[in-house]
Structure 1
Amino acid sequence: MIPKFNLYKEQWQIQSSPEIKPGLTSMQEAMKVLGHPERAIKVIHVAGTNGKGSTVKMIQQLLLAHGKRVGAFFSPSFVDVHDQIQVGLNDVTEKELNEAFEEISRTNLSGKLTDFELLTCVAFLTFRHANIEVAVIETGMGGLEDSTNVVTPLVSVITSIAKDHERFLGTTLSEIATHKAGIIKSNRPVICGPLQKDAMKVVRDYARENQSDLFVFGNEVPPYHGALSLNGKHQRQNAALALFAVQLLSTSLGFSFQQEVAEQVLATIHMPLRFEKVNDRLYLDGAHNPASIEKLVETIQELGLENNVHFIVGMIQGKDASAMLRSLETVSTTFTFVSFQEERSRKPEELAELSHATYKQVIHNPFEAMTLSLQEENVTIVVGSLYLLAEIYQETIRLFKKSEKTE
């Protein structure tokens, strides 16, 4: 479900399916019908199990700081459909969305696309209407058969490869890597983060077959040691990939890369739901699979917060909840499990049953859970699902951000 997306579909009487249908046939036909808006823009294409949203945000802001007209496409939303498409740093407006939907309404595409395919079409049309120079595009899932993979990018970026969405992408790292590496295009460079051996072999083979120069973190891509406002070693890796991509493209995009400007951007960048601080004792983190949960645990340990954390957890079905809970339980013994409206959400009672925590409880209302937790001395971290966080985000900021200002 894409929050508020149906409002536009209903207004313009455009039908699309909420189900996931991997494959590019429908998108290729849609691009043809719409006059190939994906060809009107230069693209940086970013895939990865984790880290792709942060990397897109970093590349977006680095390019903006160097004077480029930039668009960005994120998946999933932070709050609703408007923040998935950005022109400059601004969420797409109702007027801009209506212009894109109006153009689609004049075609025969109604009923032929999934929701995400339709949204991808809307993003490309928005960027064409806004006359942007370059778009930073995040894949929805995988890459090879993802609806965004109708582009021929200036560069492809693969941030990480781990197990997630196994029903669609496969159960081994090699199978999943095949989907991620599918965004590599002929004679276009690819930048990737540190990968396990099996995944790296797939990426190297794809790059070789496509005669694409490959730049790997820790080898051709140097680590980033400058100031960074985002916590965690994994964010430093993302920053290194973003910096390298922008430097690599500076000539083709017609600007002179400035290290000082770049470091200032990274020192002040804000990324919602990535260990986001609401107040001194409340954080929101979008970790939602075993690999990203491990990164969260590492960040907690780096900050010296272990054994001082109260986790508020919600998850959707199809995730390896046991593995995620075992990782979280290495740094906390206190858990509250909550409900949220996403139709695929898992019952908190089931999660509580899986948990080995010393202290665990079910409180269906996330806001009640946060209020009670903040009465304790612990740091509270809400985690487990981006859908949960998107649902509660605005109200959480309204309710709990102000408490920091009035203390």
Structure 2
Amino acid sequence: MFSRIGMGAFKKDLTNITVLCSALGNPQDKFKSIHIAGTNGKGSVSHSLAAILQQSGYKTGLYTSPHLKDFRERIRINGEVVTKEFVVEFIQNHFDLVQQVQPSFFEITVAMAFEWFVKNAVDIAVVEVGLGGRLDSTNIIHPELAVITNISYDHQQLLGNTLQEIAGEKAGIIKPGVPVVISETQDETKPVFLKKADELKAPITFADQEWEVRYQSEGDEKLIIELIYKKEPSPHSERYELDLAGPYQKKNLLATLTAVRKLREQKWEIKEENVQSALAAVKKLTGLRGRWEKLGDRPLIMADVAHNVGGVSEIMNRIKTLSYKQLHIITGFVKDKPLDIVLSLFPQEARYYFCQAPIPRALAADQLAVKAAEYGLTGEPYKSVQKAFNAAKSNADAEDMILICGSVFVVAEVL
């Protein structure tokens, strides 16, 4: 699969998933859905919308990737992971088909998710894009709504070297006549989205043009935000308490709330009280982990799956607002990730523990240490994430801070 081995697992067309789902009776046409793409934030927005729909009384499917600890995390209904029995049954029942089509791991997983959603008669499913959008295996659904979160540099070897090119791939999830919400107005990407939406007669809304942040208070485990909805005929203010406390959640919240408004316009019954209660309990309702997650006190231990320029930039800006005596950073990356810009964002005064996750795609810790030294980042390489984590905990005083970031697979090893 791409997340573990990289480009060798990437299938750059929709042929396999189309054949698979056709043989299954086209399950993607038998449930309502919301499609979510973006470089950063699509996972948080997917889980937030699923929590809101679930709290509103809808039987809600959720498909996301990659997983942290258990493959079944990718496929959920009302927060509950797909059963082991169904996973085994699906592979056994369709073994000959899989042998014939030779789909990727991701393609099999998408088909499995869609069949699970149909089998359990979900009211709606929130479907997160795996990579890009236009040629992603999830892009055979016909959603009620599309959402595209922040666009940043990631997977340039597959999606393009400019923000415009990357946005063009993400814009591939926009469908004829289907409303699309864009979370953030960016000069480079706005024309791309406007052009695509105009071509397909898809109503387009930029979330950050609808809402204005009046106040926000960030803690280790919650985020309080007061917003003003600016659009006529009903401008008003709202206050939300989120259990997703990362600094980037402000942008994600605007996309989530705008998506809720568009769903209400389609007669989905979503009460404000359910929005409030869901956003305060996204992790509990959906099982989301690894987003500015607190793992310990004295020393403060935080983990975040930030792994690209946009995500790492947000995390480092958040760290600048915190008080600690010494910062310890445990980090590792995949070897196909361009590191020059990302490493330049890390603070030189931190003590580093370079490590590698147990996957083929991981960049060797000693190679990362050499590269990081070019940017004034000093520390020791460790053969495993756990050894790096143990060393950091051993070296840290009670007033220090430990941060784990750089890769989903690194964070997974400490959860």
Which TM-score applies when normalising by structure 2? Answer: 0.86
1:147-168 deviation digits (Å, cap 9, x = unpaired): 0000111000000111111111
Question: Per-residue deviation at 1:131?
Answer: 0.8
Contact 1:30 1:109 in 2 (8 A): no
For 1:88 and 1:326, locate their aligned partners in 2 and report how far apart those are by CA, in whole Å.
40
Residue 175 of structure 2 is aligned to residue 185 of structure 1: yes
Query: What does 1:159-170 align with in structure 2 at a 5 Å threshold?
Result: 159-170=149-160
Distance 2:364 2:309 in 1: 19
Partner amino acid for 1:339? Q
Aligned position for 1:361? 380
Q: Which residue of 2 aligns with 1:151?
A: 141
Q: In the alignment, which residue of structure 2 is the partner of 1:379? A: 401
| Residue correspondence of structure 1 range 304-383 to structure 2 within 5 A | 304-305=322-323, 308-329=326-347, 332-355=349-372, 356-357=375-376, 359-375=378-394, 376-377=396-397, 378-383=400-405
After superposition, where does 1:2-401 map in structure 2 within 5 Å?
19-105=9-95, 107=97, 110-221=100-211, 223=213, 225=226, 226-250=240-264, 252=266, 254-255=268-269, 257-270=270-283, 271-280=288-297, 281-302=300-321, 304-305=322-323, 308-329=326-347, 332-355=349-372, 356-357=375-376, 359-375=378-394, 376-377=396-397, 378-390=400-412, 392=413, 396-397=414-415
Q: Is the 8 A contact 2:19 2:101 kept in 1?
A: no
SS at match of 1:176: helix
SS in structure 2 of the partner of residue 77 of structure 1: coil
Cα distance change, pair 97–305 in 1 and its aligned pair in 2 (3 A): farther
List runs of 5+ in structure 2 lacking aligned partners. Answer: 214-224, 227-239
Q: Percent identity?
A: 28
Deviations 1:183-224 (A, max 9, x none): 000000000111421211101111111111111022135556
Letter in 2 for 1:196: Q
C-alpha distance in 2 between matches for 1:305 and 1:325: 22
Shift of 1:92: 1.1
| 2:325/2:401 contact within 8 Å kept | no
CA deviation digits over 1:315-359, x for unaligned, max 9?
A: 0012122222211126x4211101221101111112111223464
Show the counterpart of 2:222.
none
Which letter maps to 2:260? V
Question: Are the counterparts in 1 of residues 324 and 401 from structure 2 also a CA contact under 8 Å?
Answer: no
Q: Which amino acid aligns with 2:278?
A: V
Instruction: Indicate the structure with greater strand content.
Output: 2
8 Å contact kept, 2:164–2:192:
yes
d(CA) in 2 for partners of 1:306 and 1:201? 43
Cα distance 1:26–1:358, how it changes in 2: closer, same or farther (>3 A)? closer
CA distance in 1, matches of 2:131, 2:265: 30
Give the AA of the match of 1:381. Answer: L
Does structure 2 retain, via aligned residues, the 8 Å contact 1:31–1:38?
Answer: yes
Paired AA for residue 382 in structure 2: I
Q: How far apart are residue 251 of structure 1 and its match?
A: 5.3
Structure 1 residues 115 and 18: CA distance shift in structure 2, 3 A? farther
What amino acid does structure 2 have at the position aligned with 1:29? V
Q: 1:305 to 1:345 in 2, by over 3 A?
A: farther
1:10 match: none
Q: Which moved more, 1:285-294 or 1:95-104?
A: 95-104
| Closer/same/farther in 2, CA of residues 55 and 296 from structure 1, 3 Å limit | same
Judge conservation of contact 2:20–2:101 (CA < 8 Å) in 1. no
Determine the C-alpha separation between the residues in 1 that align with 2:377 and 2:251.
34
Unaligned runs of at least 5 residues, structure 1:
6-16, 398-407
Shift of residue 106, structure 1, vs aligned partner: 6.2
Counterpart of 2:219?
none
Q: Give the secondary-structure state (helix, strand or coil) at the position aligned to 2:241.
A: coil
- The CA RMSD measured in Å over matched residues stands at 2.2
Contact 1:49–1:162 (CA under 8 A) maintained in structure 2:
yes
Aligned to 2:248, the other structure's residue is in SS state: helix
Instruction: Indicate how the Cα distance of structure 1 residues 197 and 267 shifts in structure 2: closer, same or farther if over 3 A, else same.
Output: same
> What is the TM-score of this pair, normalised by structure 1?
0.87
1:8-37 CA-to-partner distances (Å, cap 9, x unmatched) read xxxxxxxxx971111112222222221110
Between the two proteins, the alignment pairs up a number of residues equal to 378
Contact residue 207 and residue 214 of structure 1 kept, 8 A: yes
CA displacement 1:171-190 (0-9 Å, x = unmatched): 11111111000000000000
